[in-house]
């Protein structure tokens, strides 16, 4: 029987879980315990997890059903796994380098994202996470009042329209992006989101996919969004994850923003990524 131990990071945002081999079939009790730790800390990871694709699929399915991953080609034999790869000589814009919540432009964005590291450069390449719960809780009172009940407009147009993919490096990128005119579609979601499992409230906008605010003109939308974005990337709200090979990590996309770091030119970086299906975001008001 696995005996889990938890090493939390400051402010209980992010935690390491020891005492489990995720390549094995886990009991319902252990799965429930891992889920509770994840909901409490939002970002959790396991070191030294040597997983095949099938084992990664099996573990990820304990979190939930798999999500829909548009605009990025998956592995040929594993349609739910996307290989996040950057080659040593690659010079195009960093994939995932802008703060975002995965697929927030979808009507039902993913609940979670899973990453398993394979090849990690000797320096750089961290993944940065922002705590959307504390971001909301630490907002000034006047800003909380302004955003109460408001919805933001999300779209995939910046990175995944044909124009966006071309501007980001197009065919020079190792990863295969799948641009589409559907990237111009829009989807409204509440700026303050209520978590369906914990009831906690989080600030849920991001610079990559959030393009406006319902009922605001462009100038006022940009003013408010810039203020929110600047607040969210305050150093006190950030956890920077330093990767080693064979780490397994997953986060709560309902409360967490993330971005990839570069600074590893000349080195290869490879991780395998899956998303877990979600539900329609609900307003906290």
Q: Is residue 117 pLDDT above 70, yes or no? A: yes
Question: Using one digit for the tens of pLDDT, what is the confidence trace for 121-178?
Answer: 999 999 999 999 999 999 999 999 999 999 999 999 999 999 999 999 888 999 999 9
pLDDT value of position 40: 98
**Whole-number Å distance between alpha carbons of 66 and 236:** 32
Percentage of residues in the chain having pLDDT higher than 90: 96
**The domain 5-283: what is its CATH number?**
3.60.130.10
Mean of pLDDT over the chain: 97
Task: Look up residue 65 and give its DSSP letter.
Answer: S
pLDDT-derived band of residue 101, with 50, 70 and 90 as boundaries?
A: very high
pLDDT value of residue 234: 95
Tell me what pLDDT residue 102 has: 98
Cβ-based neighbour number of residue 236 at 10 Å: 11
The pLDDT tens digits for 136-148 are 999 999 999 999 9
User: pLDDT grade, residue 119 (50/70/90)?
Assistant: very high
- The whole-number pLDDT of residue 2 equals 64
Chain length of the chain? 285
Higher pLDDT, 83 or 1: 83
- Do the beta carbons of residue 278 and residue 195 sit within 8 Å? no
**Under 8 Å between Cβ of 63 and 26:** no
How far is 218 from 155, CA to CA, in rounded Å? 15
Question: At residue 41, does pLDDT exceed 70?
Answer: yes
C-alpha dihedral (219, 211, 144, 255), degrees to nearest 10 = -160
- List of residues 6+ apart from 279 with CB closer than 8 A: 108, 111, 196
In this structure, how many other beta carbons lie within 10 angstroms of the beta carbon of residue 226?
11
pLDDT(248) > 90: yes
Domain locations in the chain as residue ranges: 5-283
The structure tokens 């991953």 sit at 69
Instruction: Provide mean pLDDT across the span 216-235.
Output: 97
- pLDDT value at position 270? 98
d(CA 255, CA 265): 31
pLDDT above 70 for 1: no
**Could you tell me the pLDDT band of residue 3, with boundaries at 50, 70 and 90?**
confident
Please state the rounded mean pLDDT for residues 241-266. 98
SS3 28: helix
Q: Over the stretch 72-85, which tens digit does the pLDDT of each residue have? A: 999 999 999 999 99
């Amino acid at each position: 029987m696995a005996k889990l131990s938890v090493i939390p990071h400051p402010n209980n945002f992010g935690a390491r879980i020891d005492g489990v081999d995720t390549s094995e079939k886990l009991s319902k009790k252990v799965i429930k315990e891992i889920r509770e730790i994840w909901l409490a800390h939002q970002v959790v990871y396991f070191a030294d997890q040597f997983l095949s694709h099938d084992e990664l699929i099996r573990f990820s399915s304990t979190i939930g059903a798999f999500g829909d991953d548009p605009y990025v080609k998956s592995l040929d034999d594993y349609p739910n796994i996307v290989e996040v790869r950057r080659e040593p000589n690659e010079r195009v814009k960093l994939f995932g380098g802008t703060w975002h919540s995965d697929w927030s432009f979808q009507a039902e964005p993913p609940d979670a994202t899973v990453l398993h590291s394979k090849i990690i450069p000797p320096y750089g390449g961290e993944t940065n996470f922002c705590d959307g719960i504390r971001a909301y809780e630490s907002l000034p009172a006047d800003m909380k009042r302004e955003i109460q009940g408001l919805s933001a407009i999300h779209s995939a147009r910046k990175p995944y329209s044909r124009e966006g993919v071309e501007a980001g490096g197009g065919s020079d990128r190792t990863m295969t992006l799948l641009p589409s005119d559907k990237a111009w579609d829009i989807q409204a979601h509440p700026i303050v989101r209520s978590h369906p499992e914990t009831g906690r409230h989080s600030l849920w906008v991001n610079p990559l996919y959030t393009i406006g605010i319902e009922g605001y003109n462009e100038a006022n939308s940009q003013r408010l969004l810039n203020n929110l974005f600047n607040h969210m990337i305050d150093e006190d709200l950030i956890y920077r994850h330093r990767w080693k090979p064979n780490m397994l990590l997953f986060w709560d996309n309902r409360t967490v923003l993330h971005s990839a770091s570069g600074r590893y030119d000349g080195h290869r970086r490879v991780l395998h990524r899956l998303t877990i299906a979600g539900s329609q975001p609900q307003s906290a008001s």
